[in-house]
C-alpha cells in the first residue's frame, strides 16, 4: 500500500463562538503547529431565509407593504448588524492573540479572521474552497435527535458536502 504524504498548509477553523467551538480550536492549533500551517478563523452570521421563502408564505403585495412599513426598523437593524460584525471580529482577534500567548510550545499563525453572512454550512464549505484550505476544523454540540447526537446538523452537512477533510470535535 502506498501511503501518501499528507500536507496541511491551511486550516479553516469554523466557530459559532460556543464552548464546543473554543474546544475545537485546540485541535486546530495543535494541527497547525504540527504541520506549520496557517489558520483562517471563520464565523458565519446566519441570515433569514430571504424573499423567495417569504413570498411562498404570503403574497408579494403583502410582503411589499410589510417592507415599506418596517423600512426604517430594518435599516437600523442592518446598521446594528454591521456593528455586531466589527465587535465579533474584534472578539475573535483577541481570542486568537490570547490563544497564541497561551499556546506555550505550540506556534501557529492566524492568516485571516472572516465574518460572513449566509447559511453556515454552505459558507464554511465555500470559504474552505475559496481560500484553498486543506482541512476544516469545527466543533459540534452532540445533542438533539438521535442522528444529531453524534454530529450536529451543520457539521453533518459540511462533512457530506466538503471536498476536503473535516475534523469535527465534541466536548469531552
Asked whether residue 109 is assigned to any structural domain, the reply reads yes
Buried b (16+ CB within 10 A) or exposed e, 14-26: bbbeeebbeebbe
pLDDT at residue 47 in the model: 65
Q: Mind listing the pLDDT tens digit for each residue in 94-146?
A: 777 776 666 666 666 778 889 888 889 999 999 999 999 999 999 986 544 44
Supply 63's cell numbers. 410582503
Q: Is residue 1 part of a domain?
A: no
5: in domain:
no
Q: What is the arrangement of strands in the sheet containing 38-46, beginning at the earlier edge strand? A: 109-118, 38-46, 10-14, 135-140, 166-170
Q: Which domain holds residue 49?
A: 10-170
Domain membership flag for residue 128: yes
Q: Would residue 2 count as lying in a domain?
A: no
The label of the residue with cell 503547529 reads: 33
Higher pLDDT residue, 24 or 19?
Answer: 24
What pTM was computed for the model? 0.71
Sole residue written with cell 469545527: 138
In a domain, 3, yes or no: no
Q: How far apart are CA 142 and CA 147, in angstroms?
A: 9
∠ at Cα 161 (13, 20), nearest 5°? 35
Q: Residue 97 has what pLDDT?
A: 73
Mean pLDDT of 76-105: 66
- The answer to whether residue 149 is domain-embedded is yes
Find which of 6-20, 36-50, 58-72 is predicted with most confidence, using mean pLDDT.
Answer: 6-20
The CATH number for 77's domain is 3.40.50.620
Q: Domain count for the chain, please give it.
A: 1
In a domain, 57, yes or no: yes
Amino acid at each position: 500500500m502506498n501511503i501518501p504524504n499528507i500536507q496541511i498548509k491551511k486550516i479553516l477553523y469554523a466557530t459559532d463562538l460556543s464552548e464546543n467551538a473554543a474546544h475545537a480550536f485546540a485541535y486546530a492549533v495543535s494541527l497547525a503547529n504540527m504541520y506549520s500551517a496557517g489558520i483562517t478563523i471563520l464565523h458565519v452570521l446566519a441570515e433569514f431565509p430571504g424573499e423567495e421563502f417569504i413570498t411562498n408564505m404570503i403574497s408579494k403585495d403583502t410582503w411589499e407593504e410589510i417592507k415599506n412599513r418596517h423600512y426604517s426598523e430594518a435599516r437600523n437593524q442592518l446598521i446594528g448588524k454591521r456593528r455586531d460584525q466589527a465587535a465579533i471580529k474584534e472578539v475573535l482577534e483577541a481570542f486568537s492573540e490570547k490563544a497564541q500567548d497561551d499556546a506555550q510550545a505550540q506556534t501557529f499563525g492566524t492568516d485571516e479572521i472572516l465574518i460572513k453572512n449566509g447559511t453556515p454550512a454552505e459558507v464554511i464549505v465555500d470559504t474552505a474552497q475559496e481560500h484553498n484550505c486543506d482541512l476544516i476544523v469545527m466543533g459540534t454540540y452532540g445533542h438533539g435527535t438521535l442522528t444529531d447526537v453524534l454530529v450536529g446538523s451543520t457539521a453533518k452537512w459540511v462533512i457530506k458536502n466538503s471536498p476536503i477533510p473535516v475534523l469535527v470535535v465534541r466536548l469531552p
